[in-house]
Amino acid sequence: MNKKTASRIDDMLYESGLFPSSNNINHTYNSYDFSNETILITGAAGSIGSGLTKQLINCKYKKLIVVDIAESPLYELIKELEFKDTIHIEFKLLDITNKNSIKYLFKTYKPTIIFHAAAYKHVPMMESNPHEAVKLNILGTKLLADLAREYEVKKFIFISTDKAVNPIGVMGKSKRIGELYMNYLNNNSSTKYITTRFGNIFGSNGSVIPLLKKQIEFESPLTITDESMTRLFISKQKACNLILKLASKNDLSYNLYTLNMGTPIKVIDIIKRLIALYKDVSKQPEIKVIGLRPGEKMHEEIAYQNENLIKTNDSDILAIEQQKLSSLNIDFRELQNVTAAMSNTEINNILKKYI
């Protein structure tokens, strides 16, 4: 089989016409001016975090602090930027749920803008390990957001997901609680908390498309949960560019935004296009329907019924009008007491109370 590079296959998949033209993977980005800002990125070695880092390299900024707990991916990011101007970048191997470590970071660097991309995102894995979703996605987010308020950070950009809308899985529930806390803090802090909610990042680590490509290359059956399943997709380049665009604005009227991802796409259609692109496979791949995995939905949504989508002066960005929260009905003490010894059902029931 001809081993086409992953990036070339991605380009060909986009050029096939399956994805909306407005969501082009080769979306060009602007260089934003953050000259006076010290920027902190959590989860910086992940798909969104690394994308933000690579685009910020081409922007003006005072200082950039790049944080991740994953040693090898962080090292790979450092090597990727080896020949870039990194004199004003600090790479930190750090656990954002460790209060002493993260507080030291705030004291030392005094960030003015935070992009909080660190999160556990794999839906079935979080169903099996819900205590870890609580620890990072909820308590880690709360710790970081509280310190942002304490140190009077200008802007805190929280990266959320469409799975936080009417969530059925642990991952979505944990991100929804994060959204609610951002909403609450906006009415109780001088820091501007901005939530960006979007769908699947095309080609991100662990997402469906890299998995399908590997299955084709290894001549394994291609697995799909259901032939009717749809997902919303956006390229990493475009998502990161729009996040930076929001962060650069000082006149935002809303606190929750989503990105224009076009219409939902059937995963089965992606499979068929990929098979067509790998024309030299030795045999036609088998497509195996395996059923919904724990925590998965058949179709994702981008907004609740009581949330209004508002057009902005940028066709790629939609504001989401939500009810402001002056009080919060979340017992974080109960969430702090969640442990690995508790059953998955018990933890799920706790999360259900707060969404």
- Mark whether 279 is an active-site residue: no
Three-point CA angle 236, 238, 241, nearest 5° = 105
Q: What are the tens digits of pLDDT across the range 301-312? A: 999 999 999 999
The whole-angstrom separation of Cα 183 and Cα 320 is 12
Domain ranges of the chain: 21-30+119-205+233-262+304-352
Give the residue with greater pLDDT, 213 vs 54.
54
Structure confidence at residue 4 (pLDDT): 47
- Calculate mean pLDDT across residues 217-228: 87
Q: Which of 49-53, 285-289, 310-314 has the lowest mean pLDDT?
A: 285-289
Does residue 324 contact residue 183 with C-beta atoms inside 8 Å?
yes
- 92, 121, 155, 163: the catalytic one is 163
- Calculate mean pLDDT across residues 281-301: 86
pLDDT category at 350 given cuts 50, 70, 90 is very high
Q: What are the tens digits of pLDDT across the range 149-208? A: 999 999 999 999 999 999 999 999 999 999 999 999 998 899 999 999 998 887 677 678
CATH topology of domain 21-30+119-205+233-262+304-352: Rossmann fold (3.40.50)
The continuous run of DSSP H or E covering 320 comes out as strand 317-321
Q: Which two tokens stand for residue 280?
A: 């030299």
Residue 25 has pLDDT above 50, yes or no: no
Structure confidence at residue 1 (pLDDT): 41
pLDDT category at 276 given cuts 50, 70, 90 is confident
Structure confidence at residue 272 (pLDDT): 87
The whole-angstrom separation of Cα 47 and Cα 121 is 11
- Nearest Cα to Cα of residue 228 among 176, 317, 127, 298: 298
The DSSP 8-state label assigned to residue 301 in this structure reads -
Q: Estimate the crossing angle of helix 236-248 against helix 47-56, to 10 degrees.
A: 60
Structure confidence at residue 3 (pLDDT): 44
Residue 209 has pLDDT above 90, yes or no: no
Structure confidence at residue 326 (pLDDT): 83
Helices (H), the chain: 6-15, 47-56, 71-80, 99-109, 123-128, 130-133, 141-150, 170-186, 208-217, 236-248, 267-277, 332-336, 344-352
Residue 2 has pLDDT above 50, yes or no: no
- Calculate mean pLDDT across residues 312-318: 93
Does residue 160 contact residue 197 with C-beta atoms inside 8 Å?
yes
- Calculate mean pLDDT across residues 41-61: 95
Q: Which two tokens stand for residue 228?
A: 């009717």
Q: Judging by DSSP bridges, how do beta strands 317-321 and 308-311 pair with one another?
A: antiparallel
Residue 6 has pLDDT above 70, yes or no: no
**Mean pLDDT score of the chain:** 90
Structure confidence at residue 114 (pLDDT): 98
- Calculate mean pLDDT across residues 327-338: 95
- Calculate mean pLDDT across residues 64-83: 97
Q: What is the CA radius of gyration of the chain?
A: 20
Structure confidence at residue 17 (pLDDT): 67
- Nearest Cα to Cα of residue 259 among 208, 196, 211, 303: 196
Q: What are the tens digits of pLDDT across the range 88-131? A: 999 999 999 999 999 999 999 999 999 999 999 999 999 999 99
